Amino acid sequence: MSSGAGSFPWEVDVVDGVEGARSFQTSGSAYDRFMGRYSRQLAHGFADAAGVAAGQRVLDVGCGPGALTTVLAERVGVTAVSACDPSPLFLDECRTRVPGVDARPGRAEQLPYGDDEFDAALAQLVLHFVSDPRAAAAEMRRMVRPGGAVAACGWDFAGGMEMLQSFWDAAQALDPDAPAESRVMRFGKPGEIVELFEAAGLVDLVESDLGVSVLYTGFEDLWAGFMEGVGPAGSYAVALPEDRRRELRAELERRLDVGDGPFELAAVAH
């Protein structure tokens, strides 16, 4: 870990060569085929870990198409939930899926709400992609009343997220310079979010792991998600020339060795 005034390891670029924010300007259905099937499952355990319960007012930071927003609305009622995201397409989808939710355009680094408005603020799979995580943590702290909860989670890219790890292992076998998320993404290791929150002045910090498992109908079901061009992996795959994309598909299929039938892939978030 680096040290010194103002120097933290999360000040590096989000993804070298594959900018995360641009790769999420897509439809909610495309996101669902790639990552939504994971984030919908994760949302339940994440809300539990944050202690979300009836009677609270809750903010979903970086709501995407509404996986976590839906779970929050089920727990506290839609009128007690607010959500924000910089993607207009995602916001439209979130409003469709959670009618009546207060969904506003906004970045995690500059949230469109007043001080102490919420009992809890949650950021699910968001910190990997924000340009200034320290500002985002400070904003979440600002939004939440004293004694409330601030929570964030991110995938463990180094072996804890089978779908992405298998993809990047295949990509790097063909191109050692492929920008694997385990090498370039922040907040994929234990302790990194804790350190960020400590620097923001948050206290009583608790870290835990959340596991999910996703069923695919076959390899084509998995590959179709990458072909939506969502996130760093999808952006990388669709940008390849057709011949190299075919090679990548074959290498990934060989490594997974799942045959023709259904299979499951597991994922862990910190």
Q: For residue 245, what are its two tokens?
A: 């994309």
Q: Are strands 144-153 and 210-216 parallel, antiparallel or unpaired?
A: unpaired
232: Cβ–Cβ under 8 A, 6 or more apart, which residues?
15, 18, 20, 23, 179, 181, 185
- What are the φ/ψ torsions at residue 198 (nearest 5 degrees)? -60, -40
10-residue stretch averages of pLDDT, the chain, 270 residues long: 27 36 55 89 97 98 96 98 95 96 96 97 94 96 97 89 94 92 80 96 96 96 94 93 98 94 96
Contact criterion met (CB below 8 Å) for 151 and 119: no
pLDDT of 224: 95
pLDDT of 154: 94
pLDDT of 33: 83
pLDDT of 3: 25
